[in-house]
Structures are given as C-alpha cells and as structure tokens.
Structure 1
Amino acid sequence: MRFRDEREIYELVAEFEAATIDRNAWKHAEHLAVALVYVVNFGEAEALEKMRSGLFILLEKGFCVDLTIEMPYHETLTVFWIKAVDRFNAARMSASLLERANQLIETHDKDLPLKYYTREALFSDEARRVFVQGDIQTL
C-alpha cells in the first residue's frame, strides 16, 4: 500500500477510531500508518495507550470478536511497533507525514520483530499478555 496524500492517512485513522475499517482492509501497512499518526501527534507513551485501546475497540466492536473466547491482541507486538515507529519518526522529522508513512511501510515489514525475538519467545502466551524484551536483541 502507498498513500497518495495525507487525507487518506487521516481517513484511515478516523475509520480505525470509529471501528469501521473492514477486517480485510486492516493489514500491516494500516497498523503502521495509524501508529505513525499517533506517535507524531501524541508521543510514544500516549500513542501506545491510544493504539492499545483502539485495537481492543476495533476487535470487539468493529470485528465482533468475543474477547472472552478469543484474544487476537498481542501486547509485545503492539509495544514493539510503537517503539519502532517512534524511533523511525525521530530520525525523519523533516519529512512530511505522507513521505514518512510511505517510507515506513516500505522499510518496516511485518517480520521485523523476528530480528529481535525468536518465534518461541514472540508467540508465547506471556508475550501476548505482557510486553517482553527481545531475546535476540532489544529495540
């Protein structure tokens, strides 16, 4: 995915916050773009809180997931990506949001966490529930 303009990015954020984005349209690139907008506008700590709560709302209200039966949310991945996006953003403050979003999507593929975590550690029950540091390296 490549964004054509910043309006597209902000429309995506609005759909995420309203929990109206289609489940099939909510992919890695969309996660990254929302995380970037939050980091840019709120800083790392508040971006994490907004992303975490937004994901729970999206799962429950938008995707109709019964969170008492199924828990697709992954705390370690959420924290990891906010930290990675924050680091990326800090190094590119002079670029426009559009440029940053498209470059972030191009350079940060979904397998990036596996440079920091073994599969066993990343997909453990503990890592799903709480943030754990990478067992290969830390971010």
Structure 2
Amino acid sequence: MTDLPYRPFADDAAIHRIGEGLLACTLPRADWTHEGHLAATLWLIRDRPDVAVDAEIAGIISRYNESVGGVNDDMNGYHDTITHVFVTGIRCHLMVRDTSETLVESVNALLASPIGRRDWPLRFYSRDRLFSVAARRKFLPPDLAPLPTL
C-alpha cells in the first residue's frame, strides 16, 4: 500500500491500456480515474500525433462516458474547462521533461507534480466559476490567474 496522494503507474503498458481503452471505449469504468484521465491525455499528446487533442478530446471523452453508461449533461460527464486546463498543464509538463524518458516516468512525474493534483485548476479559477454549468459546457477563461503559457 502506498501513502502517495495519487496512484502511480507500474509501466508503459498500463498507460497504453488506459489510452487505447479510452479510444476504443473498452476501458472498464473503474479504471477511468483522475490518474487515468491524466495518463491517457499525456499519452495522446506525446505519443499519438494522429489525434488532434484540442479538437477531439471532447468527443473522445464524451463518447467513452456514454459507452460505460454515463451521461454528459449539466451535472455529469465531460467538463470542457477542466479538460482544457489539464491539457494545457500536461503540455507545460512535457515541455520541461527529458524527451528520452519513458512514458511511465513522464506520467508518474506529472502525477507527483502540482499539475497532477486534482485541485490544480483551482489555482486559476474560483470554485463557483470552475464548477458552473457554463464551464462544463464550454471553455471559460480563468478568473483568478492566467493559465501557464506554452
């Protein structure tokens, strides 16, 4: 058992399974955790240049949610602002990483960093704005501090 505030991945294969399962809508719902979201997104950005993450991430996650019986409505499912904040953070993370490191090294370093924390978006957004229906439906700019720039 670990005392870490996140669940690290054991190897690259575990991350590939999450990412590929997300794309194929075959990932067990229990594996779609915060760590799974970040690992799959980092994998897509870093290792899948055929996927236009900014244009496709909403559809990928929404389709997956529906495939496991979830809904994407005003209260549940895909959240556009949170997703795009983490996409920005992951890109910033990748910019400072050694390009020779393994996928699992990069993902676990992300999870251990401030960017990997569940509450990282609250550095930039008030709780009311971030968790509003408008922010769920469409990206809203931050109201507390600007997002990091790439």
Same fold (TM over 0.5): yes
Q: What TM-score results when the alignment is normalised by the length of structure 2?
A: 0.82
User: Structure 1 pair 93/122, CA: closer, same or farther in 2 (3 Å)?
Assistant: same
Aligned residues: 137
User: Structure 1 pair 27/66, CA: closer, same or farther in 2 (3 Å)?
Assistant: closer
Identify the match of residue 37 of structure 1 among 38, 43, 64: 43
Equivalent residue, structure 2, for 1:106: 112
Equivalent residue, structure 1, for 2:18: 12
- In the alignment, the residues of structure 2 paired with residue 99 and residue 68 of structure 1 have an alpha-carbon distance, to the nearest angstrom, of 35
Structure 2 residues without counterparts, runs of 5 or longer: 1-6
Equivalent residue, structure 1, for 2:146: 138
Question: What RMSD, in angstroms, separates the aligned Cα atoms of the two structures?
Answer: 2.0
**1:68 Cα offset (Å):** 6.6
Q: Given that residues 75 and 133 in structure 2 are in contact (C-alpha distance below 8 angstroms), is that contact kept between their aligned partners in structure 1? A: no
Q: How does 1:1-139 map to 2 (within 5 A)?
A: 1-42=7-48, 46-61=52-67, 63-67=68-72, 71-94=76-99, 95-107=101-113, 108-139=116-147
**1:77 Cα offset (Å):** 0.6
Q: Given that residues 74 and 137 in structure 2 are in contact (C-alpha distance below 8 angstroms), is that contact kept between their aligned partners in structure 1? A: no
- In the alignment, the residues of structure 1 paired with residue 82 and residue 71 of structure 2 have an alpha-carbon distance, to the nearest angstrom, of 21
User: Structure 1 pair 70/125, CA: closer, same or farther in 2 (3 Å)?
Assistant: closer
Identity %: 26
Structure 1 residues without counterparts, runs of 5 or longer: none
Secondary structure at 1:21's aligned position in 2? coil
User: Structure 1 pair 70/11, CA: closer, same or farther in 2 (3 Å)?
Assistant: same
Secondary structure at 1:79's aligned position in 2? helix
User: Structure 1 pair 56/105, CA: closer, same or farther in 2 (3 Å)?
Assistant: same
- In the alignment, the residues of structure 2 paired with residue 135 and residue 26 of structure 1 have an alpha-carbon distance, to the nearest angstrom, of 29
Q: What TM-score results when the alignment is normalised by the length of structure 1?
A: 0.88
